[in-house]
Amino acid sequence: ETGVTQSPTHLIKTRGQQVTLRCSSQSGHNTVSWYQQALGQGPQFIFQYYREEENGRGNFPPRFSGLQFPNYSSELNVNALELDDSALYLCASSLFSSSYNEQFFGPGTRLTVL
């Protein structure tokens, strides 16, 4: 069973640039969630994708967008980067259900915005 993988591991960008982060979900999972973890804080929910559509969104501006592909992998895109976007971005996969299902996290992508 393959776990959740994310790429790249680290990334450095400058203010105003755009970035794309990638996530491959765990085998058998059809739902991907993205979280932002700022230094010293807990992860914050950005959004979730199921059946290639956004299925819930946290308190993040529209410049945070995403995609889910037919193989359930996902991308997180951030436009017009700001210094406060520097954080660890975590992807989590799960199997969609009406009851709660455990989310499995990847190791994250560390984004630094200069």
Partner 1 sequence: DQQVKQNSPSLSVQEGRISILNCDYTNSMFDYFLWYKKYPAEGPTFLISISSIKDKNEDGRFTVFLNKSAKHLSLHIVPSQPGDSAVYFCAASALRNAGNMLTFGGGTRLMVKP
76 binds partner 1 (CB under 8 A): no
Number of residues that bind partner 1 (CB under 8 A): 30
Q: Pick the stretch among 11-19, 62-70, 71-79, 106-114 that binds partner 1 (CB under 8 A).
A: 106-114
Please identify which residue in 4, 19, 78, 111 interacts with partner 1, judged by CB under 8 A. Answer: 4
Separation between Cα atoms, residue 74 and residue 91, nearest integer Å: 9
Q: Least distance from C-beta 79 to partner 1, angstroms?
A: 22
Alpha helices in 1-114 (DSSP H): none
Q: Least distance from C-beta 92 to partner 1, angstroms?
A: 8
- Which tokens belong to 3? 């776990």
Q: Is the peptide bond before 61 cis (omega within 30 degrees of 0)?
A: no
47 binds partner 1 (CB under 8 A): yes
Separation between Cα atoms, residue 106 and residue 112, nearest integer Å: 18
